[in-house]
Structure 1
Amino acid sequence: MIFEWFSATFLSLLGALILDRLIGEPKSWHPLIWFGKWVDSGRLQLQRPLTDCESTQKRAGVFAWGLAVIPWLIVLFISFSVLPSALSWLLSTLVLYFCIGWQSLREHAQAIAFPLAKKELVKARTAVGCIVSRDTDNLTNEDVAKAGIESVLENGSDAVFAPIFWFFIFGAPGVLVYRLANTLDAMWGYKTDELKYFGWFAARADDVLNFIPARLVVYTYALCGMLWGNGARARRCARQQSLYWKSPNAGPVMAAGAGALGVKLGGDAVYFGKKESRPILGEGRDPNADDVTRAVTLIDRGVIVWVVFIYVLI
Structure 2
Amino acid sequence: MSAPSPTQRPLTQTDVSRLVHASFGPRAGVADCGPLHGGGFAAVWWVRLDDGREVVLKVAPPEGARLLRYERGLCAAEARYFRLVAARAPDVPVPPVLHHGRDPAYGEWLVTGLLPGRSLADLAADGDADDGPVRFATGRALATLHRITGPCFGYDDGERPCAATWPEAFAAMVDDLLADAADWEVELPAEPGRIRALVRRHAPALGVVRHPALLHFDCWDGNVLAAPGPDGRLRLAGLVDGERFLYGDPLLDLTSPLLFRRVEDEPDHPTVRGYRDVAGPLDLDDGARRRLGLYRMHLYLVMNVEGPSRGMTPDSHPQRHTALADLLRRELADLARD
TM-score by length of 1: 0.33
- Normalized per residue, the structure richer in helix is 1
TM-score by length of 2: 0.31
